[in-house]
Amino acid sequence: MNIINGKEIADKLKAEIASEVQALRSDKGRAPHLAAILVGNDPASETYVKSKEKSCHEVGMSSSVYRLPETTSEAELLEAIDFINKDDEIDGLIVQLPVPKHIDVNKVISAIAPEKDVDGFHPMNVGRMVLGWPTYLPATPMGILLLLQRSGIETEGKRCVVVGRSNIVGTPVSIMLSRNQAGANCTVTLCHTRTKNLDAVCRTADILIVATGKCEAITAEYVKEGAVVIDVGIHRVPDSSKKSGFALKGDVKYDEVASRCSHITPVPGGVGPMTIIGLLKNTLSAFKGEIYPHE
């Protein structure tokens, strides 16, 4: 069994991005710039935004964080997005989700200029992804495809089962892996809570991708001997043996599944570090005008 070291792969990709940023910076006179809007005080969102800021700085990109209070109205948030959309010195814009309940998330996603939508959530970019046009691919699915490629895992003709159909992970990764392109060409089955005999369906998978948000729900009986298992889930569970008082667990019961697999991603250190790579790659693309050429 091989453990897919997401941290190591992400570090290599960061070094590649950093050298490209350095070259472009001297050419264009400024670095790519990612802006993030954070509404409210959700501690997990604060952690994600800080880690995105840190990663930008590690690769030589500029970053700005616009922190808005929980009481920000939808109109005020849309105004802030419009302001950043019009700033020529900002290449990529993300609004950290979730936004407070009184704000319509679909309006927020649609308000971001498609050419700055480096999360790849705007309907225009999702549509382009579905059609196989050049686009900003959503960060976590892009990270998963890169993990498979960089680990030398053949995808062509493989049977892939994705468990979970969210708009940010399960659905896009299922589409991306079924496309007729290098690093894809899988035969994909997308599962969810209404799937019957989930364990039997999962056992057909050469590549099993799990994004259910249910801690350690995928156990050994869901996994075919020799399968590749990609665990997207992240859960903090109390653990008095750890200094922090908690341990991180995935959606897969790693201890019993690992011995059945040919490859498996650990939690932490698997898919997690790759998500930021997707965001950095999209910001670099935006800076270069690769998807929407600059006028």
Of residues 73 and 193, the one with the C-beta less far from ligand NDP: 193
Of residues 194 and 243, the one with the C-beta less far from ligand NDP: 194
Taking the complex as a whole, the smallest distance from the CB of residue 248 to ligand NDP amounts, in Å, to 10
User: How far from 86 is each of 20, 81, 112, 187, CA to CA, in Å?
Assistant: 26, 9, 10, 42
Of residues 80 and 258, the one with the C-beta less far from ligand NDP: 258
Residue identified by tokens 């070291």 is 5
Catalytic residue among 119, 206, 231, 251: 119
Cα separation, 115 vs 233, whole angstroms: 29
Neighbouring C-beta atoms of residue 63, cutoff 10 Å = 20
Per-residue tokens: 101: 């309940």
Catalytic residue flag (residue 239): no
Taking the complex as a whole, the smallest distance from the CB of residue 157 to ligand NDP amounts, in Å, to 25
Environment class of residue 129 by beta-carbon count within 10 Å: exposed (0-12), middle (13-18) or buried (19+)?
Answer: buried
**Residues 6 or more apart from 178 whose CB is under 8 A from it?**
160, 184, 185, 186, 187, 188
Taking the complex as a whole, the smallest distance from the CB of residue 193 to ligand NDP amounts, in Å, to 3
If phi over 0 gives left and psi between -120 and 50 gives alpha, with beta otherwise, what is residue 199?
alpha
Of residues 72 and 282, the one with the C-beta less far from ligand NDP: 282
Q: Residues in the site for ligand NDP, rule: CB under 6 A?
A: 140, 163-166, 168-170, 191-195, 198, 211-214, 217, 232-234, 251, 271-272, 275
Taking the complex as a whole, the smallest distance from the CB of residue 47 to ligand NDP amounts, in Å, to 12
Cα separation, 167 vs 176, whole angstroms: 13
Catalytic residue flag (residue 288): no
Of residues 72 and 96, the one with the C-beta less far from ligand NDP: 96
Per-residue tokens: 245: 């008082």
DSSP calls for 52-109: HHHHHHHTT-EEEEEEE-TT--HHHHHHHHHHHHT-TT--EEEEPSPPPTTS-HHHHH
Catalytic residue flag (residue 52): yes
Q: Which residues are catalytic?
A: 52, 96, 119
